[in-house]
């Protein structure tokens, strides 16, 4: 069987900030960093709120029912 792994470097980011969604043939990795909202609201600068989102097509050979994500050594890995 074939395997597919997506690795995302995320040093110093709380792994709980990441959300992974599977819908039909799409995998979405999304991160919104709530700890930055407070500093943004207190700032008078027009600084964008950090957010990360990537959408991947799931190949037909991947069983989307068995996709899992782990956080290891500063990296999110989706298997």
pLDDT digits (tens, 9 = 90+) for 49-78: 567 889 999 988 888 888 999 988 888 899
User: Residue 1's closest CA among 78, 63, 68, 57?
Assistant: 63
Exposure string of 31-59, with b = 16+ CB inside 10 Å and e = fewer, is beeeeeeeeeeeeeeeeeeeeeeeeeebe
Q: Model confidence over 8-24: pLDDT tens digits?
A: 888 777 888 888 999 98
């Amino acid at each position: 069987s074939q395997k597919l792994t997506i690795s995302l470097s995320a040093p110093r980011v709380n792994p709980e900030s990441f959300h992974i969604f599977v819908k039909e043939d799409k995998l979405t990795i999304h991160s919104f960093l709530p700890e930055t909202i407070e500093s943004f609201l207190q700032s008078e600068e027009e600084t964008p709120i950090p957010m990360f989102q990537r959408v991947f097509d799931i190949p037909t050979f991947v069983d989307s029912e068995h996709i899992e994500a782990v956080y290891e050594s500063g990296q999110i890995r989706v298997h």
